[in-house]
Protein backbone atom coordinates (compact mmCIF):
# COMPACT_ATOMS: atom_id res chain seq x y z
CA UNK A 1 0.00 0.00 0.00
CA UNK A 2 1.38 3.43 -0.86
CA UNK A 3 0.82 6.62 1.05
CA UNK A 4 -1.64 9.21 -0.20
CA UNK A 5 1.23 11.68 -0.80
CA UNK A 6 3.08 9.13 -2.92
CA UNK A 7 -0.12 8.35 -4.79
CA UNK A 8 -0.66 12.02 -5.55
CA UNK A 9 2.86 12.20 -6.96
CA UNK A 10 2.23 9.16 -9.11
CA UNK A 11 -1.01 10.62 -10.38
CA UNK A 12 0.63 13.90 -11.32
CA UNK A 13 3.64 12.35 -13.05
CA UNK A 14 2.53 9.03 -14.46
CA UNK A 15 -1.24 8.63 -14.66
CA UNK A 16 -1.06 5.62 -16.94
CA UNK A 17 0.67 3.74 -14.14
CA UNK A 18 -2.28 4.33 -11.87
CA UNK A 19 -4.28 1.14 -11.89
CA UNK A 20 -4.75 1.19 -8.13
CA UNK A 21 -8.05 0.31 -6.61
CA UNK A 22 -9.20 -0.50 -3.14
CA UNK A 23 -10.57 -3.77 -4.50
CA UNK A 24 -10.04 -6.05 -7.40
CA UNK A 25 -12.84 -5.36 -9.83
CA UNK A 26 -14.12 -7.93 -12.26
CA UNK A 27 -15.21 -7.38 -15.84
CA UNK A 28 -18.89 -7.91 -16.47
CA UNK A 29 -19.88 -6.23 -13.21
CA UNK A 30 -20.04 -2.59 -14.29
CA UNK A 31 -21.40 -1.19 -11.02
CA UNK A 32 -18.66 -1.70 -8.46
CA UNK A 33 -18.88 1.08 -5.85
CA UNK A 34 -15.65 -0.04 -4.20
CA UNK A 35 -17.22 -2.66 -1.96
CA UNK A 36 -18.02 -3.25 0.82
CA UNK A 37 -18.60 0.41 1.80
CA UNK A 38 -19.59 2.53 -1.17
CA UNK A 39 -17.90 5.88 -1.83
CA UNK A 40 -15.84 5.92 1.34
CA UNK A 41 -18.94 6.01 3.55
CA UNK A 42 -20.15 9.38 2.26
CA UNK A 43 -23.80 10.14 1.58
CA UNK A 44 -24.41 10.24 -2.20
CA UNK A 45 -27.71 12.11 -1.79
CA UNK A 46 -25.98 14.96 0.08
CA UNK A 47 -23.90 15.83 -3.00
CA UNK A 48 -27.19 16.75 -4.68
CA UNK A 49 -29.21 18.16 -1.77
CA UNK A 50 -26.47 19.95 0.19
CA UNK A 51 -23.97 20.58 -2.58
CA UNK A 52 -21.08 19.13 -0.59
CA UNK A 53 -19.71 15.84 0.70
CA UNK A 54 -21.32 14.77 3.96
CA UNK A 55 -20.13 11.75 5.85
CA UNK A 56 -22.79 9.11 6.23
CA UNK A 57 -23.50 6.97 9.25
CA UNK A 58 -23.78 3.22 9.62
CA UNK A 59 -26.98 4.00 11.56
CA UNK A 60 -28.50 4.91 8.17
CA UNK A 61 -27.13 1.97 6.20
CA UNK A 62 -28.63 0.72 2.95
CA UNK A 63 -27.39 -2.39 1.19
CA UNK A 64 -27.66 -1.94 -2.55
CA UNK A 65 -25.92 -3.53 -5.48
CA UNK A 66 -23.44 -5.46 -3.37
CA UNK A 67 -22.25 -2.52 -1.29
CA UNK A 68 -23.12 -0.79 1.97
CA UNK A 69 -24.21 2.82 1.50
CA UNK A 70 -24.08 5.20 4.45
CA UNK A 71 -26.38 8.20 4.71
CA UNK A 72 -26.41 11.27 6.90
CA UNK A 73 -30.13 10.84 7.57
CA UNK A 74 -32.95 8.35 7.23
CA UNK A 75 -34.57 10.77 4.76
CA UNK A 76 -31.55 10.60 2.47
CA UNK A 77 -31.51 6.81 2.70
CA UNK A 78 -35.19 6.76 1.70
CA UNK A 79 -34.53 9.07 -1.27
CA UNK A 80 -31.73 6.80 -2.41
CA UNK A 81 -33.89 3.68 -2.13
CA UNK A 82 -36.59 5.27 -4.29
CA UNK A 83 -34.13 5.74 -7.18
CA UNK A 84 -30.57 4.52 -6.51
CA UNK A 85 -29.46 5.12 -10.10
CA UNK A 86 -30.24 8.81 -9.69
CA UNK A 87 -27.78 9.18 -6.81
CA UNK A 88 -25.12 6.50 -7.29
CA UNK A 89 -21.94 7.85 -8.89
CA UNK A 90 -21.10 7.06 -12.48
CA UNK A 91 -18.21 4.63 -13.12
CA UNK A 92 -18.92 2.56 -10.03
CA UNK A 93 -17.55 5.17 -7.67
CA UNK A 94 -14.13 5.15 -9.31
CA UNK A 95 -12.42 8.30 -10.56
CA UNK A 96 -14.26 9.69 -13.58
CA UNK A 97 -11.10 11.31 -14.94
CA UNK A 98 -9.19 8.03 -14.70
CA UNK A 99 -12.06 6.28 -16.50
CA UNK A 100 -11.76 8.82 -19.32
CA UNK A 101 -8.09 7.87 -19.61
CA UNK A 102 -8.75 4.13 -19.61
CA UNK A 103 -7.91 3.03 -16.07
CA UNK A 104 -9.44 2.97 -12.59
CA UNK A 105 -8.41 4.90 -9.50
CA UNK A 106 -10.01 5.36 -6.07
CA UNK A 107 -11.67 8.62 -5.10
CA UNK A 108 -11.76 11.19 -2.32
CA UNK A 109 -15.02 12.75 -1.11
CA UNK A 110 -14.00 16.37 -1.72
CA UNK A 111 -13.27 15.88 -5.44
CA UNK A 112 -16.69 15.61 -7.04
CA UNK A 113 -18.96 17.08 -9.71
CA UNK A 114 -22.67 16.87 -10.35
CA UNK A 115 -23.19 17.29 -14.08
CA UNK A 116 -26.56 16.88 -15.78
CA UNK A 117 -27.98 15.26 -12.63
CA UNK A 118 -25.22 12.63 -12.38
CA UNK A 119 -22.54 12.34 -9.70
CA UNK A 120 -18.92 11.98 -10.78
CA UNK A 121 -16.11 11.42 -8.29
CA UNK A 122 -12.39 12.01 -8.74
CA UNK A 123 -9.11 10.75 -7.31
CA UNK A 124 -7.96 14.19 -6.17
CA UNK A 125 -8.71 17.88 -6.52
CA UNK A 126 -6.16 18.00 -9.37
CA UNK A 127 -7.96 15.17 -11.15
CA UNK A 128 -11.21 17.07 -10.63
CA UNK A 129 -9.65 20.15 -12.21
CA UNK A 130 -8.52 18.15 -15.25
CA UNK A 131 -11.94 16.44 -15.43
CA UNK A 132 -13.71 19.78 -15.49
CA UNK A 133 -11.65 21.04 -18.44
CA UNK A 134 -13.86 18.97 -20.77
CA UNK A 135 -16.67 17.31 -18.86
CA UNK A 136 -18.73 16.18 -21.89
CA UNK A 137 -15.64 14.84 -23.68
CA UNK A 138 -14.40 13.10 -20.56
CA UNK A 139 -17.80 11.51 -19.99
CA UNK A 140 -17.86 10.25 -23.56
CA UNK A 141 -14.36 8.78 -23.25
CA UNK A 142 -15.14 7.24 -19.85
CA UNK A 143 -18.32 5.61 -21.11
CA UNK A 144 -16.40 4.21 -24.10
CA UNK A 145 -13.88 2.65 -21.67
CA UNK A 146 -16.44 1.44 -19.13
CA UNK A 147 -16.71 -1.35 -17.92
CA UNK A 148 -13.85 -2.95 -19.92
CA UNK A 149 -11.28 -1.12 -17.76
CA UNK A 150 -12.35 -3.21 -14.78
CA UNK A 151 -10.96 -6.41 -16.23
Same domain, 121 and 141: yes
Same domain, 17 and 52: no
> Pick from 111, 146, 115, 143: which is nearest to 127 by CA?
111
Same domain, 55 and 111: no
Same domain, 82 and 96: no
Same domain, 77 and 102: no
Residue ending a domain, choose from 43, 60, 86 = 86
Same domain, 13 and 38: no
Question: What is the pTM assigned to this prediction?
Answer: 0.80
User: What was the pLDDT predicted at 35?
Assistant: 66
Same domain, 105 and 54: no
What CA–CA distance (Å, rounded) separates 33 from 36? 8
In the predicted model, what is the mean pLDDT of the chain?
Answer: 84
Provide the number of structural domains found in the chain: 2
Summarised one tens digit per residue, pLDDT across range 107-145 is 999 999 999 999 999 999 999 999 999 999 999 999 999
**What range does the domain containing 101 cover?**
1-28+89-151
Summarised one tens digit per residue, pLDDT across range 59-96 is 999 999 989 999 999 999 999 999 999 999 999 999 99
Same domain, 93 and 23: yes
User: What was the pLDDT predicted at 34?
Assistant: 66
CB within 8 Å of 45: residues ≥ 6 apart:
71, 72, 76, 77, 79, 80, 87
Summarised one tens digit per residue, pLDDT across range 11-36 is 433 333 333 333 333 334 456 676 68
Same domain, 44 and 72: yes
User: What was the pLDDT predicted at 61?
Assistant: 97
Amino acid sequence: MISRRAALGLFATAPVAFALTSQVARAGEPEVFQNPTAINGYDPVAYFSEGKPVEGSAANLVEWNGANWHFASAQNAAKFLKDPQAYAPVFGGYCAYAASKGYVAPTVPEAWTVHEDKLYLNFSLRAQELWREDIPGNIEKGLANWPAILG
